[in-house]
Amino acid sequence: MFECLKREGVEVIFGFPGGSVLDLYHEMTNHDIRHILVRHEQGAAHMADGYARATGRVGVCLVTSGPGATNTVTGVATAYADSVPMVIITGQVPTAMIGDDAFQEVDIIGITRPCTKHSYLVRDVNDLARVIKEAFYLARTGRPGPVLVDLPKDVQQAQADFRYPRRIDLPGYHPTVEAHMGQIKRAYQFIKKARHPVLYIGGGVVHSGAYDELVRFAEMTRIPVTGTLMGLGSFPATVTDAAGRKEPHPLWLGMLGMHGTFRANMAVSHSDLLIAVGARFDDRVTGKISGFAPKAKIVHIDIDPTSISKNVEVDIPIVGDCKNALEKLIQMVEAEPIEGLDELRAPWAGQIHEWRETYPLAYTQDSDVIKPQFVVDTIYRVSNGDAVITTEVGQNQMWTAQYYLFDRPRRLLTSGGLGTMGYGLPAAIGAQVGMPDRLVVDIAGDGSIQMNIQEVITAVCNCLPVKVAILNNRYLGMVRQWQELFYQKNYCGTCLDASPDFVKLAEAYGAVGLRATKPEEVEPVLREAFSINKPVLMDFVVSPEEGVYPMVPAGKSISEMLLV
């Protein structure tokens, strides 16, 4: 097992021991693989996820059978929804006892089948090397995702000669990497004629490493770019001028969708060509399908053929790797430059500039109460936009997407598809393990941080200086916002007046606790936290009823935004 993991480049495992994996833990000390002991198996899955997203490598977690395995399911489903490459190794009762309701037996293969890319139950030790090689290959190729390997105790104790396969032979699994040139040419004819085009990018651009190609293609064709939550950082939000000052990138529209910018939602709604790259037309992006880009021809580039025309019918499907497709489009632009590009695209650029100036993302910090947007904005300024940011889920997540300007991929780690509260802290720990020299900050809510707050001690014990910025509004903020707008302000189950003292809680875990209750205290607290080489929890007491805007109500098109 461990020789296989080393062959796959595994340097760290996030795990929690138990009876059915004791043999693996007994052997682990003989191998140069770092083990991070978590305090809950869900934390192990999220740490492996955060490690994978931050580094681009496959994350690995190891847990025991039964409840140990089931505790990972939320983390596995999170990774599956966001296409994160992970291998989850679970212990299992001996093969002879499978199906007998033995102590700590569950059918983890059956339980996770809907939320894994593939799963294996290893019944013969002679199959183990092949299974591990296949698991890592499946996890990292095509549309990435989690793969589970269930390992019975008697198989762990069995012996076999080590032979690691040289080749992978998986009939029926042959991801299409090369984009079809005929479809590329068809798409480029649309691009040459479009007057109101928009590039709509998602997490597939991150996974394929297509950042440089995307920037070059957009700038060559002067097509404005909007991104999903998972696509943020795939196109730079800012550019640096000659004096070293950051300015908004003229082609960047910001995030689109339910809490997208006015300019992004309006640009998509008025586009005549929408080029989707590595995105899957999620409902949080499209709003009412009939009102989504109603006048646009749609080109969809994705390595997963099942994602194309799944939610929105497209005019030109292009199955292939995003990087490969963009490289071919760049070749088309170089071979056949767009005639009259200035005249063709200048009016569209002017319209987008007008939307940007008329309805910008904005907040006013004009009172003694801290605005949560101000905290995120200050984190951006103090970190110079160069931190690895994780988030929990809810208002904290959306304010981060709106006010922290991401210029590079793998800088925002967040649960997009599943929306998992409790994700941010363990993901930050995983990211810090993978990126030990980087500043890693979890922007959290006071509700979601408590779902996996036990992992503070994991950071402390492993000397991982993650920073947690808690936007403490004493509510489950996003749910409260929906209750305010659509449920007659019936705040049932969303008030958190009984939250703990986060400063004392941090100190109890051996971390550092800091608090800010006034706007003028925000920056000093952040600077102090960032200077401390230990885990720090920062409690920012913010305006309790601040909302996230723009907001598209459920069932409305993305052009029908609530702005205040």
Among 209, 137, 143, CA closest to 175: 143
Six-digit token pair at 319? 């199955």
Catalytic pick from 42, 92, 134, 153? 153
- Residue 405 corresponds to which tokens in the numbers above? 């300007």
CB 502 within 8 A of CB 472: yes
Quick one: 92 exposed, middle or buried, by C-beta within 10 A (0-12, 13-18, 19+)?
buried
Query: Active site includes 454?
Result: no
User: Residues 103, 295, 313, 354: which is the catalytic one?
Assistant: 103
Q: Is position 478 annotated as part of the catalytic site?
A: yes
The active-site residue out of 2, 6, 97, 104 is 104
Cα–Cα nearest to 176, from 143, 151, 209: 143
**What is the token pair recorded at 253?**
């529209």
Residue count of the chain: 564
Annotated catalytic residue: which of 41, 105, 134, 546? Answer: 41
Pairing of the two strands 238-240 and 246-248: antiparallel
Alpha helices (runs of H) in 368-423, residue ranges in sequence order: 372-382, 395-403
3-state secondary structure of 318: strand
Structure tokens at 278: 């590595």
Residue 283, classed as helix, strand or coil, is helix
- For every residue of 85-101, DSSP letters joined together read -EEEEEEE--GGGTTTT
Catalytic residue among 230, 332, 478, 561: 478
Active site residue 41: yes
Burial 319-330 (b: 16+ CB within 10 A, else e): bbbbbbbbbbbb
430/415 Cα distance (integer angstroms): 14
The tokens of 427 are what? 């993901």
DSSP state for residue 475 in the 8-state scheme: B
Residue 103 known to be catalytic: yes
Alpha carbon dihedral 403, 404, 407, 411, in 10-degree steps, equals -140
Of 450, 447, 502, nearest to 475 (Cα)? 447
Q: Is 3 a catalytic residue?
A: no
Residues belonging to the active site? 41, 103-104, 153, 478
